[in-house]
Amino acid sequence: MADKYTKEGYHRFTLRIDENLYAKVKELAEQDKRSVAKEIEFILEQHYGNTDKE
The model's pLDDT over 3-30, given as tens digits with 9 standing for 90+, comes to 888 888 888 899 999 999 999 999 999 9
Q: Are 2 and 11 in contact (CB under 8 A)?
A: yes
Query: Could you give the count of Cα atoms lying within 13 Å of 51 in the half-sphere of its Cβ?
Result: 11
22-53 pLDDT per residue, tens? 999 999 999 999 999 999 999 999 999 876 65
Q: Are 25 and 43 in contact (CB under 8 A)?
A: yes
Could you tell me where the DSSP H helices lie in the chain?
19-31, 36-48
pTM: 0.78
pLDDT score for 54? 47
Rounded to an integer, what distance in angstroms lies between the CA atom of residue 18 and that of residue 25? 11
